[in-house]
A and B are shown apart, each in its own frame.
Chain A
């Protein structure tokens, strides 16, 4: 047994020196392999990360949002609706919300202005998101002016920045007071952006929504489920692009593996013949080739995975961002919370390392079953 281990160690040593010997060939192989793993793993990490961000976002989303409607389009909702909704059976609570978008020509970005319900902000104070703070270079104590609906500039005092578990939520967020919000957007006191409704029994969400729609014909209830479905379809669409990317990479990989499988160089064949002649068994030769395949595989796999991790979570998938995100200009700097799904890593492993190792073994096996005396006859 120890002899066997020792012989495998020796074969492994030999494999490593063989790899170094064919530096050029193996380096290019390693490069392509690493690149394929990198692309696949990046796509995987990215999609997974985005899905998680979206899930975080949805967790914050209320079960039912009621919007006002005018001419079939969105309109601020009158707060008189609040009482009517509260009177519906099964409704736990109904609250108005104040939030909106503000386009800032200086940064060329859209901000989300929100009057928080769980935090009191008074007068002209605001709390801003990290992304905004970075782009506009404004920090607590500074003044930020927005052009109001009436055309005048309205100064706000930055009270703090917004730390959040998910930057996707907070990057462009500005928390304002109700007065500040209303005066900036010119929203009358009797109106709100929308109404959020919580329901006592989750199974009654649809019933409650139907009752709201019946009672308030000029309002539109939106369910969280519907939002989730919209997100899913967006991700499915993006996932489609990634799938194309994925299949292209896999194709490239298959070609690489096939190239490897379809033949050893004459020099490698000769080497295998010599090894057989000087007393190596077929299984020793195959072991050497398997180790070689494993080594290249593991190295490329690990390297590709690490670079992909860095790419997605530290550079915010810089290479994919233009194609896949295309959101607010603030986002290119936003970071996806690092998250790795072991199941997906395993899938990637079985899609690359296993076929590659198999591809290296087959031709080696074919070369290794030559008769040991073949060398004497050439």
Chain B
């Protein structure tokens, strides 16, 4: 579960080009649900995703995560379920939480050219200090799951749009994060591939994952497995007063 309490995010504050992209959002995102943030371009969706995903810190407000965070209770073995406030965490811990909690799918896929599909998928696991062959096993299993088994050693430049997209999702899942965050995932996809993407989201939901998707594509917000649509406008949840 992710809780946001009166979260604000401003850019270039104190300068002439100051801009408040998120201006006070309170929101609770339940585990194992698919939530879509919808709204026009510039409404603050991407900014909100980056705050939720611990990529950036809010200017004010609190964000708390409930989950099992390895390395936070000091004992070995499966950590207890606990709630932590990420807004006050030091940078290093924030990254650790992010590595274990979130998988990111970007609009441009952002695969790294020159590397193979398999190498790209294993990238997020590199700093975790897990044995290479263990990561590799998991990566191959993910590739099989997404029908990319035969493409493991292909360079990412050679992939079709659909293959690149599925590779990007596989990469987001390599560290087995409970939450998948996707920013405009269908922006570069045709309708068929967009529906395919939503099918994968349904599959992830079946496996217990939480999904948070920012999109102004109706194909996404109107898909069947979506539990909740949060409409945004001017950095606020639509309909709520500033």
Give chain A's interface residues, CB within 8 Å of chain B.
2-7, 9-11, 13-14, 17, 21-22, 267, 271, 274-275, 277-281, 284, 371-373, 375-378
Kindly identify which residue among A17, A280, A375 contacts B115, using a CB–CB cutoff of 8 Å. Answer: A17
Contact between A376 and B55, CB atoms less than 8 A apart: yes
Kindly identify which residue among B92, B106, B125, B127 contacts A277, using a CB–CB cutoff of 8 Å. Answer: B106
Contact between A10 and B115, CB atoms less than 8 A apart: no
B172 CB contacts on chain A under 8 angstroms? 278
A277 CB contacts on chain B under 8 angstroms? 55, 104, 106, 110
18 contacts between A and B (CB under 8 A): A6-B130, A7-B127, A9-B132, A267-B113, A271-B112, A274-B110, A274-B112, A277-B106, A278-B124, A279-B98, A279-B99, A279-B127, A281-B92, A371-B55, A372-B95, A375-B106, A376-B106, A378-B108
A5 CB contacts on chain B under 8 angstroms? 129
- What 0/1 readout, one digit per residue, does chain B (122-143) give for beta carbons within 8 Å of chain A? 0111111111100000000000
Contact between B129 and A278, CB atoms less than 8 A apart: no
- What 0/1 readout, one digit per residue, does chain B (87-121) give for beta carbons within 8 Å of chain A? 00000100100110000101110101111000100
Contact between A278 and B123, CB atoms less than 8 A apart: yes
Contact between B95 and A6, CB atoms less than 8 A apart: no
Q: Taking the complex as formed, is B225 at the interface, i.e. its CB lies under 8 A from any CB of chain A?
A: no
CA gap between A371 and B50 in the complex, in Å: 10
A372 CB contacts on chain B under 8 angstroms? 50, 55-56, 95, 98
B129 CB contacts on chain A under 8 angstroms? 2-7, 10
Contact between A6 and B56, CB atoms less than 8 A apart: no
Chain A: CB-nearest residue to B127: A284
Q: Give 5 A-B pairs besides A3-B129, A10-B127, A376-B55 with Cβ atoms closer than 8 angstroms.
A: A11-B127, A267-B113, A278-B123, A373-B50, A376-B46
Q: A3-B129, A11-B126, A11-B127 are in contact. Are A373 and B56 (CB under 8 A)?
A: yes
Give chain B's interface residues, CB within 8 Å of chain A.
46, 49-50, 53, 55-56, 92, 95, 98-99, 104, 106-108, 110, 112-115, 119, 123-132, 171-172, 175, 183
Quote the shortest CB–CB distance from A173 to chain B (angstroms). Answer: 62
Contact between A373 and B55, CB atoms less than 8 A apart: yes
Quote the shortest CB–CB distance from B127 to chain A (angstroms). Answer: 4
B124 CB contacts on chain A under 8 angstroms? 278-280
Quote the shortest CB–CB distance from A65 to chain B (angstroms). Answer: 70
CA gap between A372 and B119 in the complex, in Å: 20
Contact between B132 and A279, CB atoms less than 8 A apart: no
Q: A277-B106, A279-B99 are in contact. Are A284 and B126 (CB under 8 A)?
A: yes
CA gap between A202 and B130 in the complex, in Å: 71
Quote the shortest CB–CB distance from A18 to chain B (angstroms). Answer: 8
Q: Is the interface of A mostly helix, strand, loop or mixed?
A: helix
Interface centre among B49, B114, B119, B132 (most CB of A within 10 A): B114
Quote the shortest CB–CB distance from B150 to chain A (angstroms). Answer: 21
Chain A: CB-nearest residue to B99: A279
CA gap between A114 and B129 in the complex, in Å: 73
Contact between B56 and A371, CB atoms less than 8 A apart: yes
CA gap between A279 and B129 in the complex, in Å: 13
CA gap between A266 and B190 in the complex, in Å: 29
Q: A274-B112, A279-B99, A372-B56 are in contact. Are A6 and B123 (CB under 8 A)?
A: no
Quote the shortest CB–CB distance from B83 to chain A (angstroms). Answer: 22
CA gap between A108 and B46 in the complex, in Å: 84
Nearest 3 CB-CB pairings of A with B: A7-B129, A3-B129, A373-B50
Contact between B114 and A21, CB atoms less than 8 A apart: yes
CA gap between A68 and B31 in the complex, in Å: 107
Chain B: CB-nearest residue to A11: B126
CA gap between A376 and B132 in the complex, in Å: 28
Kindly identify which residue among B46, B92, B95, B112 contacts A279, using a CB–CB cutoff of 8 Å. Answer: B95
B125 CB contacts on chain A under 8 angstroms? 10
Chain B: CB-nearest residue to A271: B112
Quote the shortest CB–CB distance from A271 to chain B (angstroms). Answer: 5
CA gap between A376 and B113 in the complex, in Å: 18
Contact between B50 and A376, CB atoms less than 8 A apart: yes
Interface centre among A17, A375, A377 (most CB of B within 10 A): A375
Contact between A281 and B95, CB atoms less than 8 A apart: yes
CA gap between A9 and B134 in the complex, in Å: 14
